[in-house]
Structure 1
Amino acid sequence: MAKVYATGKRKTAIAKVWLTPGSGKIIVNGMSLDEWLGGHEAIKKRVRLPLTLTKQESSVDIVATTFGGGYSAQADALKHGISKALTAFDESFRSILKPQGLLTRDARVVERKKYGKHKARRSPQFSKR
């Protein structure tokens, strides 16, 4: 099968993911996953979750570019993109990934600041006099 493309999103982070049959390499922004995330083992595990569930850790190569947000949001966007790409790659993976909630975009974003407030909801301190 040829290259499969998918886009993953989380907060303001976006991940563009290209999935090809291969040996299990994950390249993010021109770096390996270990180089890109450094010592954040829990986040690396979160990124690899879709591959682990579908048993594709050593049979597909992933090349991705991420931008926007922080490294944690980018990692979650990457996880979403990998899940979508795997589903496009093989439709039978959908029944594995969907119950785990990996195909759903996490729609939570930062609430906007309102006028008269310090933040979105934080009011100025009350003064009696």
Structure 2
Amino acid sequence: MEAQALFQGTGRRKESTARVILRPGSGQILVNKRALDNYFPRETLRMVLKEPLDVTQTAAKYDVFVNVEGGGVSSQAGAVRLGIARALLKADSNFRSALRGRGLLTRDPRMKERKKY
């Protein structure tokens, strides 16, 4: 049996952590074993998540499997976006300039500020 190419990437944002696996396929996206539309019902979050695939024009070339935990839905979408971008970079290093130009390879350093009372 031939081994299929798998590309892994990890993304973090606020308290969320996403582990992403890209596999050559038809463009299916599963988040925590659920369809993308079921996990992220808001269209804006789905757009954030798909941005690396749209920039590199690879939305229909890879199946994306995501395991994400922690934080809220917005920070989870940001973590998945960074994970997808890093996995795409492992798949093809020529994507670096396109992803870097849109700021998709930079982790957002903003965290919750501590209480001061």
Q: Structure 1 length as normaliser, TM-score?
A: 0.86
Aligned to 2:102: 100
In structure 2, what residue type is equivalent to 1:109? Answer: M
Higher helix share: 2
Among 81, 84, 94, the alignment partner of 1:82 is: 84
Q: TM-score, normalised by structure 2?
A: 0.94
Structure 2 CA distance for aligned equivalents of residues 47 and 109 of structure 1: 20
What 5-or-longer segments of structure 2 have no aligned partner? none
Give the corresponding residue for 2:18.
Answer: 15
Rg (Cα) greater in structure: 1
Specify every segment of 5 or more residues in structure 1 that has no aligned partner in the other structure, as ranges: 118-129
Overall identity of the aligned pairs, in %: 43
Ranges of 4+ aligned residues in structure 1 off by more than 4 Å: none
What are the equivalent positions in structure 2 for 1:1-129 lying under 5 Å apart?
2-38=5-41, 40-114=42-116, 117=117
RMSD: 0.9
Once the two structures are superposed, residues 56-93 of structure 1 have per-residue CA deviations (whole angstroms, 9 ceiling, x without a partner) of 01010000000000011000000000000000110001
Q: How many residues align?
A: 114
Q: Give the Cα separation in 2 of the matches to 1:60 and 1:9.
A: 21
